[in-house]
Amino acid sequence: MSVLMIPILAGEVENWKKMSQEISGSKKKEFEDFNKRYELTRHDAWLAESDSGDLAVVMHEGPGEEQFMKKLAGSNHVFDTWFRSKISAIHGVDFSQESNSKPLQQYIGSQH
């Protein structure tokens, strides 16, 4: 499982919400296909709003999670291009650059 916390650029929260609504509505079938193509069995996002800046908390799970962002960066699929352009505009992510972010380190865990 991969969990990302991605800052949302100032003024882009409404665009993030609109994109999320499209993914859950008019583009739902395309998003389901997207996740199948990238071997993601779970792909969830939450909005964390705060006075110091808003964040999207995104979770990817499945056999393809480790290569997901790298493969997405090089895809020419119509939905992938749309998705990438939205992520770039809303989060300022530059898909032409390799990420230097470090994975989250779990310090406390509990399973029942």
Q: Which amino acid is at 61?
A: E
- Is it the case that residue 47 has pLDDT exceeding 90? yes
> To which H or E segment does residue 73 belong?
helix 68-74
- Over range 6-13, report the average pLDDT: 95
What tens digit of pLDDT does each residue of 11-24 get? 999 999 999 999 99
Q: Which residues pair with 44 in a beta bridge?
A: 59
Residues 105 and 95: their CA atoms lie apart, in Å, by: 24
SS3 state at 6 = strand
What tens digit of pLDDT does each residue of 71-91 get? 999 999 999 999 999 999 999
